[in-house]
Amino acid sequence: MSEAREYNFDGIVGPTHNYAGLSLGNLASAAHKGQMSSPRAAALQGLAKMRILHSLGVGQGVLPPHPRPSMSTLRRLGFPGSPGDAVVRLSREAPDLLPLVYSASAMWTANAATVSPSADTGDRRLHLTPANLVSNPHRAIEAGHTTMVLRAIFADPTHFVIHDPLPATPAFGDEGAANHLRVAPGHGRRGVEVFVFGSIAGEPVAGLPRRQTRRASEAIARLHQLEDCRFWQQKPAAIDAGAFHNDVVAVANERAVLYHADALDPSDIGSLPGACEMSVEGARLSLAEAVRTYLFNSQLVSVGDGTMTLIAPAEVEASQAASAEVARLIAEPDNPLVAVRYVNLRESMSNGGGPACLRLRVVLTEAQAAALRGRIVVDDVLLDELEDWVGRHYRETLTPADLADPALAVESLAALAELAEVLELPADQE
Ligand code: SUG
C-alpha cells in the first residue's frame, strides 16, 4: 500500500465558461454576474496549473468538460431538434435558462464526487460517489454525466466502485470532495475521513444556503465502508461569510490540516490522531479576507522529500495579510510546509473556483493507476496537445448575450467531440 500516490484530476475549463451569477452564497459568482469572460484564457490558466503540479512530481489527471449546451437538459425541458435549433427556441421562449444549459461549472471537479482510497474502505477497493449537487440547477445537471465519465475511467470492478449519486433531494444535498478532508500518516496509509456539513437534512435556515447535509455524508460513509470517519458541522458564520464549501476555509494533506479558526472547531482538529495543525486566527486574517483571497482553497501537496508545497491563488500574493500568513507558516519549523507557488486562475476565481476547486484528489496504488482507462494522466505531450486544442476551438471572449448565438452550440459540441478522441474516452452519450 505504501506505494500509493495522489493524483489530482483537474476539470478542463469548457469552451462556454461564462459569468452568469448563478450561485447564491458564492460571493465571487455574484460579483461578476454579467461580465465578459475569456474561455480561452480560463482553459489555459487551468492547464498552466496542471503543468506546475506535474513538474513538481504530483500525479496529474484531467476530466473533460461536460458537453454544453446540455442537450439532455434541453430535451427534458421540451426543446428537441438540432443543438442550434433548440438553443434558438430556448432563447426565444425562456432566455433565462440559457446560462443553465451552457454553464461550464463541471470544471470544479472538487464537486464531482467524494473519493475514499482503498486504504480506508472495508473491501479495500477505491470508492467514489458522484455528487448530486442539488443546491443549484446548473450544477445538478452535472451528476449524470459525471457518473458516466467516472465509470468510463474507473471501469475495473476489481479496483473501483462507482456508486450512484444520492437521491436528488435537499435532504441529501451533496457537493462531493469540497466538504471532505482526509487525514492520514501517508497517502497510502489508513486515514480518518472527515465530512463537514452545513445542515442535518436540508432544513430551512436564515442566512446563505447550506449545501452539504449530514444525512448525505453519513450515507456516503456507509456506502464507502469507512472504518474511521467523523462528521463536523461547519460554523454557520463561515458559510454566511461566503464559505459555501468547506474547501474555502480548510485543506488537508497527509497529516497536515490548514484551516481558518473561525470556520472549524480547533478541538475537533485536535482530536484527529497525529494531525499537524496549521491554524490561522481571525485576528491575523479575517474570514472576509480569507474568502476574498481563497488562501485555504490552495492545494497543499507532498513533493516527495517529506515536505509540502502550497499552490496558492495570485490573489493571496497580492494580499498583505494573506501572503504574510503563508510566509509565517513556511517559516514555522513544526509543519511540513516549505514552499509556495502562486498561480493565476483569475477566470475561475471570478466564479468562486480556486486551485483546490479545480481538482478531484484520488489516491491510487500502482495497480489501480495501471487500471485507469483513457488517456487522462498528463505528461508534457498531452498538455501541449490540450493547449493546441484550446487554441483552435475556444473563443477569446464571451458575454451572456453570446449564449443565444446558435454558432456557439455547434462550436462547443464539436470541440468536445474532438477532445473525446484525444483523451480516448467514449464520445458524449448525452
Ligand atoms: O458551485 N461556481 C461554483 C464554484 C465551485 C467551487 N468549488 C469548490 N469550492 N470546491 C459553485 O458555486 C458559478 C457559475 C456562475 O455563476 O456562472 C459557480 O457555479
Residues constituting the chain: 430
For this structure, is 357 an active site residue? yes
Residue 428 has pLDDT above 90, yes or no: no
Task: Please provide the average confidence, as pLDDT, over all residues in the chain.
Answer: 97
> Please, where are the H alpha helices in 77-235?
83-93, 98-102, 137-140, 142-153, 214-223
Cis peptide before 69 (omega within 30 of 0): yes
User: End-to-end CA distance of the chain, in Å?
Assistant: 37
pLDDT tens sequence across 336-378? 999 999 999 999 999 999 999 999 999 999 999 999 999 999 9
> Residues 233-258: what's their mean pLDDT?
96
| Nearest protein CA to atom 10 of ligand 1, as residue | 357
Over the range 17-32, which residues count as b (16 or more CB within 10 Å of their CB) and which as e?
A: bbbbbbbebbbbbeeb
Distance CA 366, CA 222 (A): 26
How far, in Å, CA of 205 to CA of 236, rounded? 10
C-alpha 22: how far from chain center: 17
Angle between helices 406-422 and 83-93 (to 10 degrees): 140
Q: Which amino acid is at 373?
A: R
Specify the residue for cell string 446558435: 406
**Kind and range of the H or E run holding 62:** strand 59-63
The Å distance, Cα 26 to ligand 1 centre, comes to: 7
Distance CA(257)–CA(260), nearest Å, equals: 10
| CB distance 83 to 69 below 8 Å | yes
Res 1 pLDDT > 70: no
pLDDT of residue 249 exceeding 80, the answer is yes
The per-residue pLDDT for range 108-123, each reduced to its tens digit, is 999 999 999 999 999 9
Measured CA to CA, the distance from residue 57 to residue 201 in angstroms comes to 40
CA angle, 206 as apex, 201 and 212 as ends, to 5°? 35
Per-position b or e across 201-219, b if 16+ CB within 10 A of its CB: ebeeeeebbbbbbbbbbbb
Split at pLDDT 50, 70, 90, the class of 197 is very high
Site to substitute for ligand 1 among 18, 111, 249, most atoms within 8 A of C-beta: 111
pLDDT band at 430 (very low <50, low <70, confident <90, very high): low
175 among known catalytic residues: yes
pTM (predicted TM-score): 0.98
- Pick from 105, 138, 348 the residue to mutate for probing ligand 1's pocket: most ligand atoms within 8 Å of its CB: 105
**Which protein residue has the closest C-alpha to ligand 1 atom 17?**
20
CA of 133, closest atom in ligand 1: 1
The answer to whether residue 216 scores a pLDDT higher than 90 is: yes
| Ligand 1 atom index nearest CA of 136 | 1
2 pLDDT above the threshold of 60 = no
